[in-house]
Structure 1
Amino acid sequence: MGFWSLFEVASMPIVQVLIVSSLGALMATNYLNLLPADARNSLNKIVFMVFTPCLMFASLAETVTFKDLVAWWFMPINVGLTFLFGGILGWIAVKLLKPKPHLEGLIIATCASGNLGNLLLIIVPAICSEKGSPFGDHDVCSSVGISYASFSMAIGGLYIWTYSYQLVRSSALKYKALKAAEEVSKLPNKDLDANGETHLLEGEVKEHVAIVVPSTMSTEEDTENQAIVPEMSDRKPEKGNASFWGNALAILKQLLEELLAPPTLAAIVGFFVGAIPWLKNFIVGDNAPLRVIQDSVKLLGDGTIPCITLILGGNLTQGLRTARIRPVMVIAVILVRYMLLPVIGIGVVKAAGSLGFLPSDPLYHYVLMIQFALPPAMNIGTMAQLFDVAQEECSVLFLWTYLVACVSLTAWSTIFMWILS
């Protein structure tokens, strides 16, 4: 496959994202006013509660089997390493550049979380269809490639909706706590014998913050707010086993809430259906008795990518006007995602292959490598919208990272295939 053919194949998915984002930005302008802030917020909740879970369930139940789960055991580890190394590099960038508190989680999340599903579902079959592809027969390559991409999307979804979700959520808590503290400091002081410093020493501001933090969002944030107040108000020193078991139960409850998020729960159910042959044959396939369930879920899941991309473009219009993010932050994310992580990815995959951890299929090796070179996951924009934090800054980060990805992803795809040829 020639360089320009590869450039066209690798850049087309990114160009598609930019085109749909531009449409979303146009719809959000005052001229059309088809996608105002309230509409984007409502659509985002539908994406989180309905579309994304349907997409993950449909892809996994249809393409992944128990045999695949056993053979591809290294992929979850590989995806975890992308989050680990990306998170470490993002944390270093935050410590060096010192962004505002509500941007820390966003920067670490964009460094750690790649677009592990949507782009792979487009890129891998497109590469397989090109003449001269190093991955063998077109039909076999496309079928296996879609399975790899679906598995990658599911594993990535589990990490994104636990690790990245927690990062954005913690930033939202910090941001809302700071805003609440500022509002409290502006209140008139009715105690003539006290001043603002006295109230801070007595901890009254903290107590007020714990009350004010819950936002007005329904659905997802209703459950989150139940965990916010105890987290901020119950930080009194405790002793003995009561403190240990209390902390353990709090951590377990928080982990359970994150695992029960709709996208994560749908991925678990999709794995379960795909791994049990008789259950899969009952739901998936042209002759399945309950195939209408899979068809309906797949129909809903097809709306995920366009809706997320339209929301991204809609947020971009506001972000370009009001975002306060330094260019050095954008450059740091680009350096981590497109220079440092791909080099680390080559080392990880080559080491795993030399140790005999990987099947001999070069397409599998290519997918593992490309997981380190993808642009940030668009689901981060969904989380920023859900928690109402750093939406504009997120849009600006996405704009530049996806623009750079047009060149970066093509270059790294060429290098990866040259290494595997």
Structure 2
Amino acid sequence: MRLLTEENMEMAVRLGGEIRYMIELSVVPVMKVLTMCALGTLLAQRRIGVITPAATRLLSKLVFALFLPCLIFTELGESMTFHNMLEWWFIPVNVLLSYFIGCIAGVLVALICKPPPQFFRFTVVMTGIGNSGNLPLAIIGSLCHGQSHPFGKKCNQSGVAYVAFSQWIAVLVIYTFVYHMLEPPEEFYELVSDEGEDSVKGGSAALAALEADSMPSVMSAEWPDVKDATTEDSRTPLLARVFRYPSLTSQTSGVDGESPRASVRCLAEPRVMRKIRVVAEKTPIRYLMQPPIIASLLAIAVGVFPNTRAILFGDDAPLAWFTDSLTILGAACIPCVMLVLGGTLSVGPGSSELGLRTTIGITFTRLVLLPPIGIGVVLLAHKLGVIPPGDKMFMFVLLLQHTMPTAILSGAMTSMRGYGEREASALLFWQHTSSVVTIAAYIVIYLKIISHMSTAI
């Protein structure tokens, strides 16, 4: 009897230690992120006024143009080799799979929750496109900052490299697929056009002054200059008009009655190909080459050549002082991102015409239902042998890609398109506040899976 009691006590102590270990690994990193966001929210209050709207915009631009590119270049460049580039091929594929599965789930959410008709495609995109950028970097940075994680000495370097390697495909999808999915309905465009240019010009100065004094929306956290990218083309429902009216392609190809060079052809261009060409020309591919993407491409270009990498990375590298400077600047990225996110979330969700049922449906599907499907995808990939054996961080990043809330950059597309911005801002607010609980819970599950898979090898 006494022996049985001692065994029970040992089991209880062991179980308590395991629970404490899991809490330290899962809850503590999320609490670190939450604390930084809370400080940003606190400093953004009008009574304190440290993080003013102008300061938030400036901080966003610094992160976007300096801190994040430095972080990506230093961590990805040091980890990248030609062998690694071939071995990491499943990372962007996993992003595409998460988007594809998420969009299918988004269609089901739209059919079940029945949002207003003009928000059907909006619902699909906001359910399907997860955050593959700043938030995963913050989670990994907080997790690797502790001492008890199971990811080894190069935890942060490997994690940042894997996340950065996936960003190019995420940005490509957002600036092509998401951009066209979020085009405004024709009725909305015609309504705005019918209001007249005089009323728009009369209120533009007042609107600019109001925006300067108000906190920017959460979408500015990953693209601070989205307002500057807005054009007449981006606010036009191009797909619906091009594929509905045959004459539109000829109207959009010429300017002031002049015949475009492309119209002078030996053979007549098929009508469908002409329409596809017009859509491709209006797709904002030029925005793909943003500082974080340029930093990723440069890091890959440097890393795949051993001689070039030896010049920049390593203790004996001739330009080690340069990369050390970039490392110092990159270290400021995660704290600044969280302060900006906290400051933008301080204004609250705002008004929305999406409806409570649809908002709950998107949030629940994105944060609760899609991660288990992602677990199945990653476990299947592991069974097929496409995941490097023994690389725990690789598997963790793959799982994390299915767990994040909606991509902030997708919300920025609504601002660029001039439609659904309030709904996207409200949705991102509720998702990011709810994800504190869901991310912590799924990190526990992921660590258990990774631990089980590593012992099974």
Give TM-score, length-normalised by structure 2: 0.70
Other structure's SS at 1:2 match: helix
Letter paired with 2:81: T
The one-letter amino acid of 2:171's match is W
Q: Cα distance 1:116–1:253, how it changes in 2: closer, same or farther (>3 A)?
A: farther
Residue identity opposite 1:50 in structure 2: L
CA offset at residue 153 of structure 1?
1.1
Q: CA deviation at 1:61?
A: 1.0
Residue deviations 1:240-299, cap 9 Å, x none? 517525633652673632431222222111111111111112222233222333233333
Find the counterpart in structure 1 of residue 170 from structure 2: 160
Tell me: CA distance 1:99–1:283, structure 2 relative to 1, closer, same or farther (3 Å): farther
Shift of 1:401: 1.8
Aligned to 1:287: 316
Q: Deviation at 1:398?
A: 0.8
Q: Cα deviations across residues 366-411 of structure 1 (Å, max 9, x unaligned)?
A: 3255235533267549837974833344223211122332233323
Aligned 8 A contact 1:319 1:396 in 2: no
Contact residue 40 and residue 339 of structure 2 kept, 8 A = yes
Q: CA deviation at 1:5?
A: 0.8
Asked if 1:53 is matched to 2:76, the reply is no
Q: Residue 143 of structure 2 aligns to which amino acid in structure 1?
A: I
Shift of 1:16: 1.4
Take 1:284 and 1:386, find their aligned partners in 2: how far apart are those partners?
Answer: 39
Q: 1:357 to 1:370 in 2, by over 3 A?
A: closer
The residue that corresponds to 2:95 in the other structure is 79
Kept in 1, the 8 Å contact 2:106–2:123? The answer is no
Change (3 A) 1:147 1:392: same
Aligned to 2:148: 130
Contact 2:105/2:124 (<8 A) preserved: no
Q: 1:42 to 1:282 in 2, by over 3 A?
A: same
Match of 2:49 among 23, 29, 33: 33
Larger Rg over CA atoms: 2
Q: Distance in 2 between matches of 1:377 and 1:55?
A: 23
Asked if the contact 1:313–1:395 (Cα under 8 Å) also holds between the matched residues in 2, the reply is no
CA distance in 2, matches of 1:229, 1:335: 30
In structure 2, C-alpha distance between the alignment counterparts of 1:58 and 1:384, rounded to whole Å: 29
Contact 2:91 2:162 in 1 (8 A): yes
2:140 aligned partner: 120
1:228-247 aligned at under 5 Å gives the runs 228=234, 232=238, 235=242, 236-238=247-249, 241=269, 244-245=273-274, 247=276
1:103–1:150 distance in 2 versus 1, CA, 3 Å? farther
Unaligned runs of 5+ in 2: 1-16, 212-223, 251-267
1:79 maps to amino acid:
V
Question: Over residues 303-333 of structure 1, what are the superposed CA-to-partner deviations in whole Å (9 max), with x where a residue is unaligned?
Answer: 3222222222122221246566655445434
2:231 to 221, 225, 230: 225
For residue 386 of structure 2, give the secondary structure of its aligned residue in structure 1: coil
Percent pairwise identity: 21
RMSD of the TM alignment (CA)?
4.1
Tell whether 2:354 aligns with 1:343. Answer: no
Aligned to 1:117, the other structure's residue is in SS state helix
Cα deviations across residues 97-131 of structure 1 (Å, max 9, x unaligned)? 344657964873464314443323443675xx438
Q: What residue is the counterpart of 2:435 in the other structure?
A: 401
Map residues 11-410 of structure 1 onto 2, 5 A cutoff.
11-99=27-115, 101=118, 105=122, 108-109=125-126, 111-114=128-131, 115-123=135-143, 126=146, 129-130=147-148, 133=150, 141-143=152-154, 145-164=155-174, 174=184, 178=188, 181-182=191-192, 184-185=194-195, 221-225=227-231, 227-228=233-234, 232=238, 235=242, 236-238=247-249, 241=269, 244-245=273-274, 247-248=276-277, 250-251=279-280, 254=283, 256-320=285-349, 322=351, 326-361=355-390, 363=392, 366-367=395-396, 369-376=398-405, 379-380=408-409, 383=412, 387=416, 389-390=421-422, 391-410=425-444
1:8-43 CA-partner distances (Å, limit 9, x unpaired)? 211122111211111111122221123333433343
> Does the CA-based 8 Å contact 2:159-2:397 persist in structure 1?
no
Q: Secondary structure at the match of 1:351?
A: helix
Q: What amino acid is the match of 2:436?
A: Y
CA distance, structure 2, for counterparts of residue 182 and residue 252 of structure 1: 24
**Structure 1 residue 56: deviation in Å?**
1.8
Q: Is the 8 A contact 2:37 2:341 kept in 1?
A: yes
